[in-house]
Amino acid sequence: MHPIKDIKLIKDLLAEDPIAHLNTIGRIKNSENVEIYVDDHQKPRGFVLKDGYWAIPYSKDEEILSQILNNFAFPDYVGFCGLPMAWANKIKESLTEYELDWDEHCQLYYLPEENIEKISLVEVLPSLTIEDIDIVDYHYTYKEEGSREYLLECIQKRPSSVIIEEGKPVSWALVREDNSMGVMYTIEEYRKKGLAKKITGDLVRKVVERGNIPYVHIVVTNEASKNLARELGLVYWGDVLWFGLKKKGMITKEE
């Protein structure tokens, strides 16, 4: 596998399935730590994106993908972020020296171009500020060491939406490093008032204004969020998997 700096080399590969690659494109745009490796410098048929703990291997040719998976030096612990189920299953089958560490089954919803007009009349809302970081981090589902810094970077560098009541945030959402919309939360006493729809609608509008395709990964059991996505014109694309692998014999990272 060969490291590359010129992202144009994988432009045609990304165009093979633009929706499947929304998170790949987002990470390339937003992360300073992204590394790209290709199977061939002249005419790549597949690649691996590496972004810290996270990896995205890709080739539409199963034989090439197998070669990539067998030749790339993955670390002892590696996460795969929001990959279509067929890719995820191929990775788990191929990396026989690894075992599953964790996983989360989601569904990808995105806003097709023909539905953009549905968000033209949404209420315009303010964005989160750095002063809001502590309350956002406090309620973050995946709160851990470093999450405050991560959320602060999201707030500072990408779109967000917030509803303020009595001088404090009560409902919010933001855009992650892969350009997916997420971290949506409404404080309990303000729920069932339609705030989530207002927040999501405004955030979708902001993402469109940036020239990006709004999309979200929704945990498969979260029917309320899926219904909300459909109300705003987002459509189901397919099931995706977030998962982590560890070398056999390694302890679980949380242990």
pLDDT tens for 163-221 read 999 999 999 999 999 999 999 999 999 999 999 999 999 999 999 999 999 999 999 99
Terminal Cα-to-Cα distance of the chain (whole angstroms): 33
Only one residue has tokens 């059991």, namely 221
- CA-based nearest residue to 50, from 65, 67, 29, 36: 36
Q: Tell me, what's the pLDDT at 250?
A: 85
CB atoms within 10 A of CB 70: 10
- Cα–Cα distance between 145 and 199 in angstroms, integer? 27
**Domains, the chain:** 2-106+240-247 (3.40.630), 113-212 (3.40.630.30)
Q: Tell me, what's the pLDDT at 205?
A: 95
Alpha helices (H) in 72-132, listed in sequence order: 85-94
253's enclosing H/E stretch is: none
Amino acid at 224: A
Q: Provide CB contacts within 8 A for 218, sequence distance 6+.
A: 106, 107, 109, 225, 226, 229
CB atoms within 10 A of CB 196: 20
Q: Tell me, what's the pLDDT at 254?
A: 55
Q: Are 158 and 30 in contact (CB under 8 A)?
A: yes
CB atoms within 10 A of CB 230: 12
- Cα–Cα distance between 121 and 66 in angstroms, integer? 47
CB atoms within 10 A of CB 23: 25
What residues in the chain have per-residue pLDDT under 50?
none
**Helices and strands of the chain, counted as H and E runs:** 8, 11
Look at the pTM and tell me if it is higher than 0.85: yes
At residue 208, φ and ψ (nearest 5 deg) are -60, -40
Q: Tell me, what's the pLDDT at 253?
A: 59
Residue 179 backbone class (left: φ over 0; alpha: ψ -120 to 50; beta: rest): left
Task: For Cα atoms 160, 163, 169, give the angle at the middle one, nearest 5 degrees.
Answer: 90
